[in-house]
Amino acid sequence: MSTDIKPETPKVEVAPVQVVDAEEVKASVINDIKQSFTLLERGATTFDSRFILKVFRDLPALRKRVNATILSKIVGESYPDSNESKNILLKFIGEDTPKDNHEMEIDFTSNPATPEAVVTITPTEILPEVDMFLHLLIQVWLLNRHEIEPLKAFNEFVVTKLKTYNRRSLDQLSAKIWFYYARAKELSGQLDEIRPVLLNALGTATIRHDTETQASLITLLLRNYVVSKNFNQAANLVSKTNFPESAGNALAARYLYYLGRINAIQLDYSSAHDKVIGAIRKAPQTKLASGFLQSANKLNIVIELLMGDIPERSIFSQRELERCLVPYFEITKAVRIGDITLFSETVEKHAEKLKQDGNYSLVLRLRQNVIKTGIRIMSLAYSRIPLKDICIRLHLDSEESAEYIVAKAIRDGVIEATIDHEKGFMQSKEVLDIYSTNEPQQTYHDRIEFCLGLHDDSVKSMRYPMSLNRFDLKQVEEVREREKELASEIQEGDFDEDDDDDFEL
Partner 1 sequence: MSLADLTTHLTQAFQASDYATCAQTLPALKLQLAKASLLTPDFAQAPVADLVATRDILEMGALAAVHLGHEDQLERYIMQLRPFYATTVIDPSANENKLMALYLLLLLSRNEIAAFHTELETLGEVDGALENDAYLSYPVRLERWLMEGSYDKVYKAISQQSQVPAPEFSLFADTLAYALRGEIALCAEKAYSSLPIANARSLFFYQSDQQVIDFVQDQAGWSITNGHIVFPSVDADELASSAVTSLASSERVISNTLNYAGKVESII
Q: Which of 3, 318, 356, 361 binds partner 1 (CB under 8 A)?
A: 361
Q: Does residue 366 belong to the site contacting partner 1 (CB under 8 A)?
A: no
The residue from 455, 471, 481, 483 that contacts partner 1 (CB under 8 A) is 455
- Which residue's CB is nearer to partner 1, number 46 or number 401? 401
Q: Which is nearer to partner 1, 44 or 410 (CB)?
A: 410
In the complex, minimum distance from the CB of residue 225 to partner 1, in angstroms, rounded to a whole number? 10
Contact 494, 286 (CB under 8 A): yes
Considering only residues 64, 91, 349, 355, which one is a binding residue for partner 1 as defined by CB under 8 A?
355
User: Of 218, 224, 229, which is closest to residue 184 (Cα–Cα)?
Assistant: 224
Determine whether 197 is exposed, middle or buried from the number of CB atoms within 10 Å of its CB (0-12, 13-18, 19+).
Answer: middle
List, in sequence order, the alpha helices (H) in 145-268: 148-164, 171-187, 191-207, 211-227, 231-240, 249-265
Please, which residue, 215 or 396, has the CB nearer to partner 1?
Answer: 396
Decide whether 66 or 366 has the Cβ nearer to partner 1.
366
Interaction with partner 1 in 391-450: which residues (CB under 8 A)?
396-398, 400-401, 403-411, 417-422, 438, 441, 445, 448
SS3 category, 426: strand
Tally of residues, the chain: 505
Tell me whether residue 191 or residue 310 sits nearer to partner 1 (CB atom): 191
Minimum distance, C-beta of residue 191 to partner 1, in the bound complex (Å): 11
In the region spanning residues 152 to 211, those forming contacts with partner 1, defined by CB under 8 A, are none
> Within positions 252 to 281, which residues make up the interface with partner 1, using CB under 8 A?
265-268
Side-chain-facing half-sphere of 437: CA atoms under 13 Å: 8
420: enclosing H helix or E strand? strand 417-420
The whole-angstrom separation of Cα 120 and Cα 205 is 39
Selected range binding partner 1 among 14-22, 76-84, 299-307, 360-368, rule: CB under 8 A: 360-368
Non-local CB neighbours of 234 within 8 Å, separated by 6+ positions: 222, 225, 226, 258, 262
Q: Which of 144/236 has CB closer to partner 1? A: 236
Give min distance, CB of 221 to partner 1, in A. Answer: 17
Runs of H (alpha helix) within 307-436: 313-316, 326-337, 340-349, 351-357, 360-364, 367-381, 387-393, 399-411
Name the helix (H) or strand (E) containing 90: helix 85-95
Question: Which one of 11, 102, 229, 484 is in contact with partner 1 (CB under 8 A)?
Answer: 229
* Binding residue (CB under 8 A) for partner 1 from 120, 232, 249, 317: 232
Which of these ranges, 76-84, 103-111, 312-320, 358-366, lies near partner 1 under the rule CB under 8 A?
Answer: 358-366
Q: Interface with partner 1 by CB under 8 A: which range of 27-35, 93-101, 272-280, 353-361? A: 353-361
230 is an interface residue for partner 1 by CB under 8 A: yes
Q: What's the CA gap between 299 and 277, in Å, rounded?
A: 10
Of the two residues 20 and 451, which places its CB atom closer to partner 1 in the complex?
Answer: 451
Minimum Å gap between C-beta 217 and partner 1 is 22
265 vs 293, which CB is nearer to partner 1?
A: 265
**Shortest separation between residue 419's beta carbon and partner 1, angstroms:** 5
Residue 475 in contact with partner 1, rule: CB under 8 A: no
Number of H helices, E strands in the chain: 25, 3
371 makes contact with partner 1 (CB under 8 A): yes
* Alpha-carbon distance values, 148 to 70, 98, 190, 228 (Å): 21, 17, 12, 20
Cβ closer to partner 1: 71 or 194?
A: 194
CB of 400 to partner 1, least distance (A): 5
Cβ–Cβ < 8 Å for 86, 157: no
Based on CB atoms, which residue is closest to partner 1, 93 or 405?
405
Q: Which of 255, 58, 289, 49 is nearest to 172 (CA)?
A: 49
- Alpha-carbon gap, residue 50 to 43, rounded angstroms: 7
364 scored as a contact of partner 1 (CB under 8 A): yes
**Which lies closer to partner 1 via its Cβ, residue 281 or residue 429?**
429
Helices 16-46 + 68-78 axis angle, to 10: 40
Q: How far is the CB of 342 from partner 1 (least distance, A)?
A: 16
Characterize 437-452 residue by residue with b for buried, 16 or more Cβ atoms within 10 angstroms of its Cβ, and e for exposed: eeeeeeeeeeeeeeee
Under rule CB under 8 A, how many of the chain's residues touch partner 1? 43
Distance CA 321, CA 315 (A): 8
Q: How far is the CB of 301 from partner 1 (least distance, A)?
A: 19
Q: Strands across the sheet with 384-386, in order?
A: 384-386, 425-428, 417-420
166 residue type, one letter: N
In the bound complex, what is the minimum distance in angstroms from residue 461's beta carbon to partner 1?
16
Write down the least CB distance from residue 276 to partner 1, Å. 17
Distance CA 483, CA 38 (A): 15
Distance between CA atoms of residues 269 and 144, nearest Å = 38
Closer residue to partner 1 in complex, CB, 137/394: 394
Distance CA 54, CA 483 (A): 12
Nearer to partner 1, 122 or 435 (CB): 435
Chain residues that interact with partner 1, rule: CB under 8 A: 229-232, 235, 265-268, 355, 360-361, 364-365, 367-368, 371, 396-398, 400-401, 403-411, 417-422, 438, 441, 445, 448, 452, 455
